[in-house]
Amino acid sequence: MFPAMDAAISGLQQFQQDINVIGNNIANVDTTAYKTGRIDFQDTLSQALGADPSVLVGTGVTTTPVESNFAPGAVTSTGRATDMAITGNGFFVVRDPATGVQYLTRAGDFQLDANGYLVTGNGMRVQGFADGKLSTTGDIKIDATGAPSTAAAGAAVSSFSVSPAGVISVTLSDGTTFTRGQVMLQNCEAPNALVEAGNNLYAETPGAGLLSQSVTPGTAGVGGIQSDSLEASNVDLTNEMANLITAQRAFEANSKIITTSDEVLQDLVNLKR
């Protein structure tokens, strides 16, 4: 009876993990650009039952590490110039100004900080060409730097727009328009090798197979940029609820195996009285 109980305990542990992953998916159904996580089940090493080595019985179940489904989510219009969505498989590159560490993200819900830098909600600065000549990479800033000499003195930024290729065009209060910079994108061969760092960020790893450098949106398979829009979570709530029911029933079934094994063991104990 003990092998059956051990197998059932492993089932309880792994289906609890499955429920945890499903719960996290459901909790992030409205998180910008969230990617659905999942785990796969695998049987564990079988062991010989009794003296005959050819009679094998499984010892339970285990699960693979959590993997993310990087399929693009639906893109919705927001009307905010700082919002951007990627219409492909690429990632925005952002940098922590305090440490200099770079991260990848699919979430384009950016904003302008007090100094005019284009940043994430937690202050990570968006990377790309930081000058109007598109020659110097760094933190992207929206200001009047690089305005043509014909612009009125003291003209301030009135608005800006981002093209599908990531080029940022700034319009000044006097109507002058000029190129201020360009948002660049990154991609990788194995996105599941990236490490989730929280706040919709992914930390780079050697196993992810990143491109040698960031590229222009619309090239190298990274997809273009859709401005004034955001990518929604790709969580299928209906599917997740169905998975939750399946996991719950499987958890209950494994609990029943433990209960039954306990009852049989109790019967064996009673036979000796």
What is the distance between the alpha carbons of residues 168 and 85, in angstroms, rounded to a whole number?
15
What is the distance between the alpha carbons of residues 217 and 228, in angstroms, rounded to a whole number?
16
**Nearest 5°: CA angle at 64, between 63 and 65?**
120
Place of tokens 């727009």: 161
- The strand pairing partners of 196, in sequence order, are 202
Confidence band, pLDDT 50/70/90 cuts, at residue 49: low
What is the distance between the alpha carbons of residues 179 and 145, in angstroms, rounded to a whole number?
10
Residues 183-205, mean pLDDT to the nearest whole number = 96
What tens digit of pLDDT does each residue of 52-96 get? 666 677 788 999 999 999 999 999 999 999 999 999 999 999 999
State the pLDDT at residue 60. 87
Structure-block tokens of residue 153: 């003195």
State the pLDDT at residue 163. 97
Q: What is the pTM of this model?
A: 0.88
Indicate if the pLDDT at residue 1 is higher than 60: no
Residues 120-135, mean pLDDT to the nearest whole number = 97
State the pLDDT at residue 220. 92
| Kind and range of the H or E run holding 169 | strand 167-172
Average pLDDT over the chain, rounded to whole? 93
Confidence band, pLDDT 50/70/90 cuts, at residue 47: low
State the pLDDT at residue 261. 87
What is the distance between the alpha carbons of residues 5 and 265, in angstroms, rounded to a whole number?
11
> Contact, 131 vs 143, CB < 8 A?
no
> Contact, 193 vs 207, CB < 8 A?
yes
Domain parsing of the chain, residue ranges: 2-69+235-271, 75-231
Confidence band, pLDDT 50/70/90 cuts, at residue 206: very high
What tens digit of pLDDT does each residue of 7-38 get? 899 999 999 999 999 999 999 999 999 999 99
State the pLDDT at residue 53. 67
Count Cβ atoms within 10 A of the Cβ of residue 40 and give its class: 0-12 exposed, 13-18 middle, 19 or more buried: exposed
What tens digit of pLDDT does each residue of 234-259 get? 999 999 999 999 999 999 999 999 99
Nearest CA among 122, 129, 80, 79 for reference residue 98:
122
